[in-house]
């Protein structure tokens, strides 16, 4: 079945499942798992990477391997934090109550560069569509605009539409492929229904991770292609089946090495460096917190990515590609976790211990090493492992709680990028505290700052427009029902006409100002967190499920590990006119 989840997270199945018998996967099978083979030393892979970093940290120190970013605990730390790197709070969270801080890896600790990584996914998907699924070869000439799609959009699989909704699930922007729906088409399709559509799986797909941007773009391209070239698409292929093919092809790219082999060969091409990750982990650990990693990636890939992120900042010197030094920053690492299923305590998934060198999986008795039949001692003895981080695959949250000796789930803070896979279930079902990483936020707040005067202007125009509307209604009412003489009637009619023409001017000015602001953020979809005056559906989910949210995981390094995060005051509409903001 398809990923199935509703807005409240009540119906679910494991993400990335897909229905297709057409695509098969071919693994290099070693020790029961797929292994990545990488050539080149870590040293080679790191020498050029620093220049490509997108971070604006002020580095202290000399060479690439000894970068010391300014974090909260450094002598010059604890300074004012620029808005794009602040941590925002929806629900108060006192870090003193947190005993373990967990991290997701992909798009959380490892920020992929969309221009290279998403293009890789896009190109790999196209090849599978053409060579494996029989799509026309002209798709190979298509190109990808990685800035076009944004998170929070919803794909209407049957109709071939891409939608942006507000927090009440009203469709505010709708495109068919790349063609904008007129207001009438939009209202006709999504406005008048007897039963409100839930806009969830299976008829809709949510673009809720940065991994999905390429598939959303490709879907729009295919919709356009089918409309313009009906003869070139196999008979019986409708929009929904094209979506299914794209999903299956993307899914395979993640599983068959199309993406991971390339990233493994040259991580610096695909992943941003972040010199603050190691100091942040160290600071959390020095403060007495346990740290853990729970990722859906498997061990071989996790080790490559984490080595890339941590090795240059660990110790100056040895940088072997098989180094496991980064494990010193974690108490437990769980790979292949199959989130969000991992968060269901009733999920009976086995917990395997991973032998680091070979990637071999070993049975455990709920985390306790087990001797194989014929052996006296377990292959990995508890004694030898007690000092270091243990690596597992699978299992569920109950195993993790046991391994970390967690007494209450509210003592855990988990940082992730996927509102469904990482945040919603862990928060809603378990009661873990959550922090969502939203890299788009950095640009969004910068632009908000830029347009702050225009927004004030917009609000004034809106108030003026509404006032005029009320006046017109009142005058019209008087004209219709009040007992007035013809002379007064004439006067009122003139006043109405004047007001209506002024109202048109204000309405136009308001529309233009709104459009200008919208375009500043994104030429098609506008501001990520808003649709007009309302919060977007994405913003609504962030507000409901993420206790904290921020642009980068390492922003945690800019705050005290004992910080008491407090939310800003809530305002209801009735308070806004009374309380000065």
Give the Å distances, CA to CA, from 522 to 186, 220, 442: 20, 17, 14
Return the C-alpha torsion angle 307, 308, 309, 314, nearest 10. Answer: 60
Does residue number 106 form part of the binding site for Mg ion (CB under 5 A)?
A: yes
Structure tokens at 537: 């559906």
Under 8 Å between Cβ of 298 and 355: no
Min CB(40)–ligand LQESDW3C separation in Å: 21
Q: Which residue pairs, CB below 8 angstroms and at least 24 apart, start in 91-95?
A: 91/547, 91/567, 92/564, 92/565, 92/566, 92/567, 93/413, 93/433, 93/547, 93/548, 93/564, 93/565, 94/564, 94/565, 95/413, 95/560, 95/561, 95/562, 95/563, 95/564, 95/565
Rounded Cα distance, 484 and 275, in Å: 77
Does residue number 211 form part of the binding site for Mg ion (CB under 5 A)?
A: no
Min CB(255)–ligand LQESDW3C separation in Å: 5
CA atoms within 13 A on the CB side of 197: 17
Min CB(416)–Mg ion separation in Å: 6
Rounded Cα distance, 15 and 17, in Å: 6
The one of Mg ion, ligand LQESDW3C, none whose footprint includes residue 251, by CB under 5 to 8 A per kind, is: ligand LQESDW3C
- Residue from 107, 270, 301, 329 binding Mg ion (CB under 5 A): 107
Does residue number 245 form part of the binding site for Mg ion (CB under 5 A)?
A: no
Does residue number 104 form part of the binding site for Mg ion (CB under 5 A)?
A: yes
The one of ligand LQESDW3C, Mg ion, none whose footprint includes residue 101, by CB under 5 to 8 A per kind, is: none
Under 8 Å between Cβ of 528 and 151: yes
List helix spans (H) across 288-396.
299-314, 382-385
Pairing of strands 100-103, 412-416: parallel
Does residue number 118 form part of the binding site for Mg ion (CB under 5 A)?
A: no
Q: Which is nearer to ligand LQESDW3C, 418 or 510 (CB)?
A: 418
Query: Which range touches Mg ion (CB under 5 A), out of 11-19, 131-139, 412-420, 546-554?
Result: 412-420
- Residue from 273, 417, 442, 444 binding Mg ion (CB under 5 A): 417
Pairing of strands 204-206, 154-156: antiparallel
Min CB(543)–ligand LQESDW3C separation in Å: 22
Min CB(117)–Mg ion separation in Å: 13
Phi/psi of residue 522, nearest 5 degrees: -160, 135
User: Closest Cα to residue 399, out of 351, 434, 353, 438?
Assistant: 351
**Apex CA 565: angle with CA 563 and CA 568, to 5°?**
150
Query: Which range touches Mg ion (CB under 5 A), out of 12-20, 65-73, 274-282, 413-421?
Result: 413-421
Q: Which is nearer to Mg ion, 118 or 417 (CB)?
A: 417
Q: Which is nearer to ligand LQESDW3C, 71 or 153 (CB)?
A: 153
Min CB(362)–Mg ion separation in Å: 26
The one of ligand LQESDW3C, Mg ion, none whose footprint includes residue 254, by CB under 5 to 8 A per kind, is: ligand LQESDW3C
The one of Mg ion, ligand LQESDW3C, none whose footprint includes residue 250, by CB under 5 to 8 A per kind, is: ligand LQESDW3C
Query: Which range touches Mg ion (CB under 5 A), out of 22-30, 96-104, 435-443, 456-464?
Result: 96-104
Q: Which is nearer to ligand LQESDW3C, 98 or 250 (CB)?
A: 250
Rounded Cα distance, 304 and 263, in Å: 9
Min CB(559)–Mg ion separation in Å: 22
Query: Which range touches Mg ion (CB under 5 A), out of 170-178, 417-425, 433-441, 556-564?
Result: 417-425
Site residues, ligand LQESDW3C (CB under 6 A) = 16, 104-107, 211, 250-251, 254-255, 295-297, 339
Residues 318-357 that bind Mg ion (CB under 5 A): none
Q: Which is nearer to ligand LQESDW3C, 264 or 458 (CB)?
A: 264
The one of Mg ion, ligand LQESDW3C, none whose footprint includes residue 59, by CB under 5 to 8 A per kind, is: none
DSSP state of 420: I
How many binding residues for Mg ion (CB under 5 A)?
Answer: 4
Cis ω for the linkage preceding 340 (within 30 of 0): yes
User: Closest Cα to residue 339, out of 291, 292, 297, 389?
Assistant: 297
Under 8 Å between Cβ of 389 and 285: no
Binding site for Mg ion (CB under 5 A): 104, 106-107, 417
């Amino acid at each position: 079945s398809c990923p199935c989840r509703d807005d409240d997270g009540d119906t679910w199945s494991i993400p990335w499942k897909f229905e297709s018998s057409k695509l098969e996967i071919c693994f290099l099978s070693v020790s029961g798992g797929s292994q990545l083979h990488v050539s080149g030393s870590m040293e080679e892979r790191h020498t050029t990477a620093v220049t490509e970093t997108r971070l604006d940290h002020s580095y202290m120190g000399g060479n690439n391997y000894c970068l010391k970013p300014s974090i909260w605990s450094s002598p010059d730390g604890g300074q004012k934090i620029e808005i794009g790197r602040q941590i925002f709070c929806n629900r108060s969270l006192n870090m003193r109550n947190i005993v373990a801080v967990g991290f997701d890896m992909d798009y959380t600790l490892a920020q992929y560069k969309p221009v290279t990584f998403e293009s890789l996914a896009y190109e790999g998907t196209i090849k599978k569509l053409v060579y494996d699924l029989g799509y026309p070869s002209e798709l190979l000439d298509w190109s990808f605009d990685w800035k076009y799609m944004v998170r929070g959009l919803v794909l209407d699989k049957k109709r071939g539409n891409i939608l942006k909704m507000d927090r009440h699930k009203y469709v505010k922007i709708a495109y068919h492929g790349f063609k904008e729906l007129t207001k009438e088409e939009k209202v006709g399709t999504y406005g008048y229904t007897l039963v409100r559509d839930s806009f969830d799986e299976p008829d809709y797909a949510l673009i809720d991770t940065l991994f999905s941007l390429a598939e959303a773009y490709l879907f729009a391209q295919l919709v356009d292609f089918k409309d313009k070239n009906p003869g070139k698409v196999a008979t019986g292929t409708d929009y929904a089946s094209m979506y299914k093919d794209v999903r299956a092809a993307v899914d395979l790219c993640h599983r068959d090495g199309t993406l991971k082999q390339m990233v493994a060969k040259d991580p610096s091409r695909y992943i941003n460096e972040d010199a603050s990750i190691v100091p942040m982990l160290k600071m959390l650990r020095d403060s007495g917190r346990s740290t853990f990693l729970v990722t859906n990636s498997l061990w071989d890939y996790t080790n490559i990515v984490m080595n890339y992120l941590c090795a240059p900042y660990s110790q100056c010197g040895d940088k072997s590609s098989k180094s496991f030094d980064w494990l010193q920053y974690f108490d437990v690492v769980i790979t292949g976790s199959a989130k969000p299923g991992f968060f269901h305590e009733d999920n009976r998934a086995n917990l395997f211990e991973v032998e680091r060198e070979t990637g071999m999986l070993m049975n455990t008795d709920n985390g306790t090493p087990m001797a194989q039949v014929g052996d006296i001692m377990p292959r990995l003895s508890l004694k030898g492992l007690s000092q270091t981080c243990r690596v597992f695959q699978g299992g569920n949250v109950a195993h993790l709680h046991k391994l970390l000796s967690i007494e209450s789930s509210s003592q855990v803070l988990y940082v992730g990028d996927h509102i469904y896979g990482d945040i919603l279930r862990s928060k809603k079902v378990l009661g873990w505290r959550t922090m969502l990483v939203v890299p788009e936020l950095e640009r969004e707040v910068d632009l908000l700052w830029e347009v702050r005067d225009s927004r004030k202007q917009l609000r004034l125009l809106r108030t003026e427009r509404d006032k005029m509307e009320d006046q017109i209604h009142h005058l019209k009412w008087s004209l219709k029902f009040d007992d007035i003489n013809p002379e007064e009637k004439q006067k009122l009619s003139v006043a109405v006409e004047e007001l209506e023409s002024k109202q048109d001017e204000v309405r136009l000015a308001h529309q233009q100002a709104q459009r200008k602001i919208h375009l500043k953020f994104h030429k098609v979809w506008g501001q990520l967190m808003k649709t007009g005056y309302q919060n977007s559906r994405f913003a609504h989910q962030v507000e409901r499920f993420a206790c904290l949210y921020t642009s980068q995981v390492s922003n945690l390094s800019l705050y005290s590990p004992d910080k008491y995060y407090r939310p800003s005051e809530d305002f209801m509409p009735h308070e806004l006119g009374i309380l000065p903001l």
